[in-house]
Amino acid sequence: MGHGGNVIDELLTDHREVEELFGRIDGLAPGDKDRKVYADQVTMELVRHSVAEEAYLYPAVREHVPGGDALADQEIEDHARAEQLMKDLESCEAGDPEFDRLMTALMTEIRSHVADEEQNLFPKLRASCPPDALDALGDKVRQAKKVAPTRPHPSTPSTPPANKLLAPGVGMVDRLRDTLTGRGKKD
């Protein structure tokens, strides 16, 4: 992740990448160990994406979009549901019957969230936020994803300023754990 362009273009590209990973999971037989590898990659991407949205996108929605508080609150609720599914999925192996149930639930939740953002939130933000502000937000989101956590932490704050203060430290620990364990990498 980290592609360039304004915040909407950046996040749309993230959405396509996650959908591609979902397709890889769907293309493998139940129990295939690579399903867990791709599930970990999806989780890593989604957590970084969510942290960046919560730190920068949703505050901008609150500021620029009429009725933005309600929109942002709904998106944060969506993130909380997805984050709990990812946390539950973290302890499942690909052969565990619970893995398939949780993965299906996560895909459904994320696809619904993405559709809502792309059909509702993004057009409203584009219409009400100056282009230079959208560009600046794109830069902030890219920077946030570089230091964001890679594992779900459902109990951490999801709104500024606490999320902006805690994310880099938690992210550093997560990336270290990922490196030491090889999480998200194929053998």
Q: How many CB atoms lie within 10 A of CB 182?
A: 11
| C-alpha dist (Å) from residue 108 to 2, 114, 133, 156 | 25, 10, 31, 24
Across the chain, mean pLDDT equals 88
Pair of tokens at residue 9: 């273009």
pLDDT given for residue 169 in this prediction: 59
pLDDT digits (tens, 9 = 90+) for 44-75: 999 999 999 999 999 999 999 999 999 999 99
Q: Where are the domains of the chain?
A: 7-181
pLDDT digits (tens, 9 = 90+) for 107-142: 999 999 999 999 999 999 999 999 999 999 999 999
Question: pTM of the prediction?
Answer: 0.87
- Residue 184: left if φ>0, alpha if ψ -120 to 50, beta else—which one? left
Give the right CATH number for 7-181 from 3.30.420, 1.20.120, 1.10.150, 1.10.4030: 1.20.120
pLDDT tier for residue 1 given thresholds of 50, 70 and 90: very low
